[in-house]
C-alpha cells in the first residue's frame, strides 16, 4: 500500500469512536437493505415455484390469472384447440388444487395437489424414492420432500392417509427445485384422481402445458391461443407476470421499495454526517499536509480511500450479518423465504458506493477549500 494511503488509513482507523460510528451506520444500512430485498426476492422466487417445478415451456391460462396457485379453470375446447395448432408437439392439461389431509394424529393439514396428465405425466417431479409409474396405482400419491414435508408427519412409501375423505397411499417421495410460498406440503397424483378427490366446478383444467415443436413456433402458438381469448405464456413470461403481480398489485413491492429507500437514507445520513465530522476534525491535518507539500489529487485520493475503505468494510459486515441471520432463521424455520440474490448484492453495493461517493464529495470539497495559510497562521 502506498504511504499516503497508509497515513489515510491510520488517521481513519485510529479515530476509533468515529470509525466505529461510520461502520455501524453503513453496516446497519446494508443489513436493512439486504434483508428487505432478500425477503422480497425470496417471496418472488417462491411465488413462482410451481412454474419452475413443473418445467413446461408454455403455459396456457385464462388472462386473468396472475398467480400460479390461483388458476381459473378452462373449458375442454381450449385443450382441443391447443392440440390442433401447428407447431404444438403435444398439449396436456394439469390440475392445481388444494385438499385436506387427515393425519394419523387426527389433525388436518392442508396440502396443495398437482394432478398430472394421465397419459403423459408431463410436469412430473424427480423421485427420490419409489417409481413414478406407481402413481397409476389405486389411491396413489407422490409426496414432495421439501421443508413442509414434516407437516405430513414425514410419511414413507406405503404410508396411508386420508385425503378429502378418500383413502390415499404414498407411492413415492419427490424432490423439487423450489419450495412454495404458502407453507403447505405438496402432493402429486394423476389428473383424473385429483379431479375425483377434489370437488371442482364445471371446468377442471387449471392450465394447459404445451411442448412446442421448436422455439420458433412459440409466437405462432401464442397468437393462436390469443384468438380464442386465452393466453399462452412461456415459462419466463409467466414467472414475470407472477412477480409483477406481487410487486405492483399487492403493495409488497412498494413497501419493500420504501423500506429500502429509508434504510438507504438513514445509512447515508449517519455515515455521511459522521464522515463529514471526521473530515472537519481533520481539516487542520489536511491543511498541514497541503502546506508540507501534498498535492490536491493526493488529498483526494486519501479521502476517497477513507470513504471507500469504510464503505466496503461496512458492506461486508452488513452482508455478513444479513446472511448470518438468514442462515440462522433457516435453521429454525425451514420454509423461511428470504434469499440473497446477486441483484440484491449489487444493488446494495451500488447504494453503498453512492453513500461513499456523497460523503467523500463533501469531504473533498471541504479539504480542497482549506488554505494552508490559515493553518500556518494558527
Partner 1 sequence: MGNVAIRANALVKWFGEGETRTTAVKSASFEAGFGELLYIVGPSGSGKTTLLSMISGILKPNEGNVLVEGKDIWQMKSDDIADLRLHKIGFVFQDYHLFPRLTTVENVAIPLILKKMDWNEAIKVALEYLEIVGLKDRAELQPVKLSGGEQQRVAIARAIAGHPDILIFDEPTASLDGDTGRKIVEFIKTKILNPQRCVIIVTHDSRIYEYADSIMKMEDGKIIGFEQNTLHVV
Chain positions contacting partner 1, by CB under 8 A: 1-4, 6-7, 10-11, 14-15, 284-285, 287-296, 298, 371-373, 375-378
Per the CB < 8 A criterion, the answer to whether 375 and 287 are in contact is: yes
* Residue showing cell 392439461: 93
Q: Which is nearer to partner 1, 72 or 291 (CB)?
A: 291
- Nearest distance, CB of residue 292 and partner 1, angstroms: 6
- Nearest distance, CB of residue 8 and partner 1, angstroms: 11
- Nearest distance, CB of residue 298 and partner 1, angstroms: 7
Kindly tell me the burial class for residue 160, based on how many C-beta atoms sit within 10 Å of its own C-beta (0-12, 13-18, 19 or more).
exposed
Per the CB < 8 A criterion, the answer to whether 275 and 23 are in contact is: no
Q: Which is nearer to partner 1, 236 or 281 (CB)?
A: 281
- Nearest distance, CB of residue 28 and partner 1, angstroms: 25
- Nearest distance, CB of residue 297 and partner 1, angstroms: 8
Q: Which is nearer to partner 1, 56 or 307 (CB)?
A: 307
Phi-psi region of 83 (alpha: psi -120 to 50; beta: other; left: phi over 0): alpha
Q: Which is nearer to partner 1, 269 or 371 (CB)?
A: 371
- Nearest distance, CB of residue 310 and partner 1, angstroms: 15
Residues 6+ apart with CB under 8 A from 117: 92, 93, 94, 123, 190, 191, 209
Distance CA 72, CA 67 (A): 10
Q: Which is nearer to partner 1, 214 or 369 (CB)?
A: 369
- Nearest distance, CB of residue 274 and partner 1, angstroms: 16
Residues 6+ apart with CB under 8 A from 60: 74, 78, 82, 91, 207, 208, 209, 210, 225, 230, 231, 232
- Nearest distance, CB of residue 307 and partner 1, angstroms: 17
Q: Which is nearer to partner 1, 151 or 290 (CB)?
A: 290
Residues 6+ apart with CB under 8 A from 65: 71, 72, 231
Q: Which is nearer to partner 1, 13 or 79 (CB)?
A: 13
Q: Which is nearer to partner 1, 127 or 364 (CB)?
A: 364
Distance CA 233, CA 223 (A): 10
Q: What is the DSSP letter of 132?
A: G
Q: Which is nearer to partner 1, 248 or 376 (CB)?
A: 376
- Nearest distance, CB of residue 378 and partner 1, angstroms: 4
Phi-psi region of 81 (alpha: psi -120 to 50; beta: other; left: phi over 0): alpha
- Cα–Cα separations (whole angstroms), residue 97 to 116, 296, 307: 12, 69, 54
Cell of 126: 424427480
Rg value, the chain, Cα: 29
Amino acid at each position: 500500500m502506498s504511504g499516503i494511503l497508509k497515513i489515510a488509513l491510520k488517521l481513519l482507523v485510529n479515530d476509533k469512536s468515529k470509525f466505529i460510528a461510520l461502520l455501524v451506520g453503513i453496516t446497519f444500512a446494508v443489513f436493512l437493505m439486504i434483508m428487505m430485498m432478500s425477503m422480497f426476492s425470496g417471496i418472488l422466487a417462491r411465488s413462482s415455484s410451481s412454474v419452475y417445478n413443473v418445467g413446461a415451456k408454455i403455459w396456457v391460462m385464462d388472462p386473468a390469472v396472475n398467480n400460479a396457485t390461483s388458476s381459473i379453470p378452462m373449458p375442454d375446447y381450449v385443450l382441443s384447440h391447443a392440440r390442433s395448432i401447428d407447431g404444438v408437439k403435444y398439449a396436456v392439461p394439469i390440475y392445481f388444487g388444494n385438499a385436506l389431509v387427515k393425519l394419523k394424529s387426527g389433525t388436518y393439514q392442508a396440502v396443495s395437489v398437482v394432478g398430472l396428465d394421465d397419459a403423459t405425466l408431463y410436469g412430473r417431479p424427480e423421485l427420490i424414492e419409489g417409481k413414478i409409474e406407481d402413481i397409476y396405482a389405486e389411491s396413489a400419491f407422490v409426496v414432495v420432500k421439501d421443508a413442509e414435508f414434516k407437516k405430513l408427519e414425514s410419511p414413507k412409501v406405503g404410508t396411508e392417509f386420508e385425503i378429502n375423505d378418500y383413502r390415499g397411499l404414498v407411492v413415492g417421495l419427490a424432490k423439487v427445485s423450489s419450495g412454495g410460498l404458502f407453507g403447505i406440503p405438496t402432493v402429486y397424483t394423476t389428473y383424473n384422481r385429483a379431479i375425483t378427490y377434489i370437488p371442482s366446478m364445471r371446468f377442471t383444467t387449471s392450465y394447459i402445458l404445451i411442448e412446442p415443436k421448436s422455439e420458433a413456433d412459440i409466437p405462432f402458438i401464442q397468437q393462436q391461443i390469443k384468438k380464442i381469448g386465452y393466453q399462452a405464456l412461456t415459462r419466463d413470461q409467466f414467472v414475470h407476470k407472477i412477480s409483477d403481480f406481487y410487486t405492483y398489485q399487492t403493495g409488497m413491492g412498494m413497501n419493500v421499495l420504501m423500506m429500502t429507500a429509508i434504510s438507504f437514507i438513514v445509512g447515508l445520513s449517519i455515515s455521511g454526517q459522521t464522515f463529514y465530522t471526521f473530515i472537519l476534525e481533520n481539516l487542520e491535518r489536511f491543511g498541514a499536509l497541503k502546506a508540507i507539500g501534498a498535492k490536491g489529487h493526493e488529498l483526494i485520493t486519501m479521502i476517497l480511500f477513507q470513504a471507500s475503505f469504510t464503505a466496503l468494510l461496512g458492506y461486508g459486515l452488513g452482508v455478513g450479518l444479513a446472511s448470518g441471520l438468514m442462515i440462522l432463521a433457516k435453521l429454525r424455520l425451514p420454509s423461511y423465504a428470504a434469499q440473497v440474490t446477486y441483484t440484491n448484492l449489487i444493488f446494495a453495493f451500488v447504494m453503498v458506493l453512492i453513500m461513499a461517493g456523497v460523503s467523500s464529495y463533501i469531504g473533498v470539497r471541504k479539504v480542497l477549500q482549506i488554505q494552508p495559510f490559515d493553518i500556518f497562521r494558527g
